[in-house]
Amino acid sequence: MTTAGTLALPKPSYLAAGWSLRSWFLTLDHKRIAILYLASITAFFFVGGAAAVLMRLELATPESDLVTSGVYNRLFTIHGTIMVWFFLIPSIPAVLGNFLVPLMIGARDLAFPRLNLLSWYLFMLGGLLAVGAIIAGGVDTGWTFYTPYSTTYANSAVIPMAAGIFISGFSSILTGMNFIVTVHTMRAPGMTWFRLPLFIWSTYATSLIFVLATPVLAITLVLIGVERVWGVGIFDPSLGGDPVLFQHLFWFYSHPAVYIMVLPAMGVVSEIVPCFASNRIFGYRFIAFSSVAIAVLGFLVWGHHMFVAGLSLHASLVFALLSFLVAIPSAVKVFNWMVTLRNGTIRYRTPMLYALGFIGLFTIGGLTGLYLASLAVDLHVHDTYFVIAHFHYIMVGGAVMAYLGGIHFWWPKVTGRTYSEPWGIFSAILLFFGFNLTFFPQFVLGYLGMVRRVAEYPPEFQVLNVLSSAGASILGLAYLVPLVYLTRSLIRPPSVGSNPWNATGLEWGTPSPPTAHNFDEPPVVTGPPYEYENPQAVASQEAQNG
Amino acid sequence: MMTADPARGFSLWPESASTGAPDIDRVYIALLGLTLFFALLIGALALGFGVKYRAGAQVIRDRIIHKTPLLEITWILGPFLIALAIFVWGAVVYMDATEPPAEARAIYVVGQQWMWKVQHPGGRREINELHVPSGEPIKLVMTSQDVIHSFFVPAFRNKRDVLPGQYTYLWFEATRPGTYHLFCAEYCGADHARMRGRVVVMTPADFQRWLAADPSAATSGESESASGEAMPPTIDSPAFVRFGCDDCHQASPTPAGPALHGLFGQRLPDPSHGSATVDESYLRQSILEPNAVIAAGYAAPSTMPSYANQIDEYQMIELIEFIKSLRDAPMREALP
């Protein structure tokens, strides 16, 4: 991949293009909007993280002694709602996606810059409503809002929280639409579909989910409001409704939402691995199409959340089989990343450690998903800590590891600064260790029968809970370390060249940080992506298997 | 209210006390093996390539990339076949674990915030405890009076959500006497964590003594007919008379409604589903929504009024048990 348009005259970077508050809060530059998202989701992450810290402290003893059950129920609801809707879902798409999609395809901005800014305002409005709901006494329904508890019985701020999620959902829809239109219409000359970086493929697949699934969540939240406020019977059987209907609607969105979190993470890893292996990605088309396969199949597996909720036998069988099938495109990706290492020249820098950490933890998370898809084992482990451990391996071990890997990988591009490499390596290893100590014992706890969402548990579960809480304190520290050294790196002026990692991709042809309009003239693409020059390769060359 | 947890020590593997538990454990162990295999495979690839091709290592780096898609086909087809095998195995075990045997002893469970209420057919009631005999299939007929709960006994490796407005079933056959944890697995509000109890498994003889020891227990015609000794039904149902069920379903030479003798357990033609087995759910639905299924030979809409909102869960249990007690009587031809 080559770029035309290297800069002759130094132009101000997008960061130096304006210093006023107005230049930030009314910006139409996709890169500045990405920074707005970065700052806001980091704040939300520490809100959700603080709730998790309090939960793990409470769970160090079998009794509810630090907080009451009522407070604990609010803590896990804060943790779930904030982390899912106000951190994980916007994390890679809205921060890295916003920053990188135009740069990677050779465009000057997204297709609809004003809609992009509106997305951020909707996100913040939703987020502030959610925080308002927490301040107004909290919500105690769990992030899943199961009916009829949420509509008839819960005595907490359900409506403001649901309204916040409803509004932020429009941010997802607009962002997804923006990415889809941008990828279709604004690719640089020569940037064919099969020359797109795999991050674009996965972001595109994610955008389809944003646009198709989020409206169902919005409708479901409206129905909760209609039943809760006006007493119209939709989900509560005492009003003539069906409580399981809610679960169908909720998981029709919320299972694909898992892929909203993990597909972009896979895209990030597909960028980092070939760069630090100095090697072409293996099986480009298989990785690209597996993203699409995951997005499509992800819409057809929601019933696996309901195997013990009264789903009919036939429905259970179909949903179980389809859930097993989702594992296959995921496995395809993992194997292709592994073979990409072969014959490479591997540099173990911070982003690569995060990417390898992702592969390991995602593999465990994906394989433990099979336990839940297999109908028999789900009877036992459903709604236990096994499920908690499984989805944290996917969402934290997977999505958050990849997000941090991406932040470290593109940090020089985004800010023009480098961070301390030893601290980066230290925190990546600390994170991996702390994560496993936190969540591995929870698999065991789940099979022993410890159920989720409890502040109290039988005393024989204490040893494993103490291990998990100890791991959580290490994990918390491992999140604070990058916050410190990345922030500190901003003190010095930008000093990084345009391509510090020797990476391919159009974004690395722009200065670090890029100028406001990315490219002075549209770059022309003449070859496939990931054309890494392997510095130690032997000379024999042959065309790559597309 | 403090819960009465059975005392247990630290362990890494849950105790097992039902006939179904070993089947589920076996699928789990197979999955553990599969996880270990793939984790080691990925780990070996990462470590092997990672060390061999590290920057600076003097090693031949071949740039020839073979065009054959054999590798891709292998790692698509291999996991696919493994997934298919485990799916089938899991599905078979699941069907066994969720389909109660016809002869299972029914015990009723009513969940409410935040306790489990148990009603034995003979009339004995318990709260947050469930006494059952070992060596006999037990079918729990469960409903909730408020939100969704979930009845979970880890030692039996089984759980089922307990829904308001309908019956769900959980069956098991306990293998050894003892006391086991009972949890609510579905978050149900403030004291969800304290909605715990215990399942007490007794020898059949001990259980019979326990059942008879309750002064409120009626003569247990139900349990004796279940154990095979034919006894004339002796359960009397005041609710059957109070709600006027007997006006149409009994006694009169030309009854307005179908006869109930021998009804329970029958397969009836059902215009919407082909056929329906008369079980607890069927009876419950027929009482609350008489038009849901019209018995063959009767005109739709039914002349029977709906009893929704008039009958509480315990009266419902009483009616259902009464109708079940008529099951050994011959089914009368009751076509008008």
Q: Which residues of A touch B55 (CB under 8 A)?
A: 278, 345-347, 536
- Report whether the peptide linkage leading into residue B301 is cis, meaning its omega lies within 30 degrees of zero: yes
Q: pLDDT value at position A59?
A: 97
- Rounded Cα distance between A221 and A216, Å, is 9
Q: Are strands B197-202 and B129-133 parallel, antiparallel or unpaired?
A: parallel
Angle formed by the axes of helices A313-341 and B21-52, to 10°? 20
* Among the partner residues A283, A341, A449, nearest to B49 by beta-carbon distance: A341
Are the beta carbons of B65 and A310 separated by less than 8 Å? no
The mean pLDDT of chain A is: 93
Largest CA distance in chain A: 75
In contact, B66 and A540? CB cutoff 8 Å: no
SS3 B132: strand
Q: Are strands B115-119 and B267-270 parallel, antiparallel or unpaired?
A: unpaired
Q: What is the mean pLDDT of residues B258-284?
A: 81
Mutation choice for A interface testing from B28, B162, B192, B309 by most A CBs within 10 A: B192
Q: Which residue has the tokens 């070939």?
A: A274
Structure tokens at A356: 């390898």
Question: What secondary structure does DSSP assign to A471-497, as a single string?
Answer: HHHHHHHHHHHHHHHHHHTTSSPP---
More confident site: B68 or A79? A79
Residues A371, B100, B309, B288, Cα dihedral to 10°: 120
For the beta sheet containing B178-184, the strands, ordered from the edge strand earlier in sequence to the opposite edge, are B129-133, B197-202, B178-184, B149-153, B158-162
Q: Which residues of B touch A331 (CB under 8 A)?
A: 75-76, 79
- Rounded Cα distance between B225 and B227, Å, is 5
More confident site: B66 or A306? A306
- Rounded Cα distance between B5 and B14, Å, is 15
Are the beta carbons of A345 and B38 separated by less than 8 Å? no
* Domain spanning A24-509, CATH class: mainly alpha
Is it the case that residue A183 has pLDDT exceeding 80?
yes
Q: pLDDT value at position B214?
A: 64
Nearest to A116 by CA among A134, A135, A138, A94: A94
Structure confidence by residue, pLDDT tens digits, A243-268: 999 999 999 999 999 999 999 999 99
Is it the case that residue B308 has pLDDT exceeding 90?
no
Structure tokens at B173: 């056959």
Is it the case that residue B251 has pLDDT exceeding 60?
no
- Rounded Cα distance between A74 and A52, Å, is 11
The amino acid sitting at A234 is I
- Rounded Cα distance between A201 and B169, Å, is 45
Q: pLDDT value at position B215?
A: 57
In contact, A477 and A434? CB cutoff 8 Å: yes
Mutation choice for B interface testing from A297, A380, A452 by most B CBs within 10 A: A380
CATH fold for domain B105-226: Immunoglobulin-like (2.60.40)
> Percent of chain B scored above 90 by pLDDT?
54
Mutation choice for B interface testing from A242, A379, A531 by most B CBs within 10 A: A379
Phi, psi of A148, deg, nearest 5: -80, 5
Phi, psi of B150, deg, nearest 5: -145, 125
The answer to whether residue B30 neighbours chain A at the CB level (below 8 Å) is: no
Are the beta carbons of B9 and A331 separated by less than 8 Å? no
Domain boundaries, chain A: 24-509
Structure confidence by residue, pLDDT tens digits, A84-129: 999 999 999 999 999 999 999 999 999 999 999 999 999 999 999 9
Largest CA distance in chain B: 100
Is it the case that residue B319 has pLDDT exceeding 60?
yes
The radius of gyration computed from the CA coordinates of chain A, to the nearest angstrom, equals 23
- Rounded Cα distance between B259 and B248, Å, is 9
- Report whether the peptide linkage leading into residue A148 is cis, meaning its omega lies within 30 degrees of zero: yes
Nearest to A519 by CA among A98, A1, A104, A28: A104
SS3 B150: strand
Q: Which residues of B touch A322 (CB under 8 A)?
A: none
Are the beta carbons of A380 and B159 separated by less than 8 Å? yes
Residues A10, A11, A14, A15, Cα dihedral to 10°: 60
Q: What is the mean pLDDT of residues B125-140?
A: 96
The amino acid sitting at B203 is T
> Percent of chain A scored above 90 by pLDDT?
91
Domain boundaries, chain B: 14-49+68-99, 105-226, 238-325
Cβ atoms within 10 Å, residue B140: 25
- Rounded Cα distance between B180 and B16, Å, is 10
Phi, psi of B129, deg, nearest 5: -140, 145
* Among the partner residues B60, B89, B159, nearest to A382 by beta-carbon distance: B159
The mean pLDDT of chain B is: 85
Is it the case that residue A293 has pLDDT exceeding 70?
yes
Q: pLDDT value at position B329?
A: 59
Between the two ends of chain A, the Cα-to-Cα distance in Å is 15
Between the two ends of chain B, the Cα-to-Cα distance in Å is 55
Structure confidence by residue, pLDDT tens digits, B67-82: 668 888 998 999 999 9
Residues A323, A328, A334, A336, Cα dihedral to 10°: -160
Contacts of B140 (CB under 8 A, 6+ apart): B106, B107, B108, B109, B130, B151, B160, B169, B170, B171
Structure confidence by residue, pLDDT tens digits, A449-461: 999 999 999 999 9
Q: pLDDT value at position A546?
A: 36
Q: Which residues of B touch A459 (CB under 8 A)?
A: 5
Contacts of B204 (CB under 8 A, 6+ apart): B133, B134, B135, B136
Q: What is the mean pLDDT of residues A6-20?
A: 79
Interface of B with A in 96-135 (CB under 8 A): 97-98, 113
Q: pLDDT value at position B272?
A: 65
Interface of A with B in 144-183 (CB under 8 A): 144, 146, 148-149, 152-154
* Among the partner residues B66, B84, B185, nearest to A384 by beta-carbon distance: B185
The answer to whether residue A312 neighbours chain B at the CB level (below 8 Å) is: no
* Domain spanning B238-325, CATH class: mainly alpha
More confident site: B237 or B217? B237
Centroid of chain to Cα A104: 19
Q: Which residues of A touch B171 (CB under 8 A)?
A: none
Structure confidence by residue, pLDDT tens digits, A141-177: 999 999 999 999 998 899 999 999 999 999 999 999 9
Question: What secondary structure does DSSP assign to B216-283, as a single string?
Answer: TPPP-HHHHHHTT---------HHHHHTTHHHHHSS-SS-SS---TT-TT-EEEETTTEEEE--HHHH
Nearest to A89 by CA among A255, A336, A258: A258
Q: pLDDT value at position B233?
A: 40
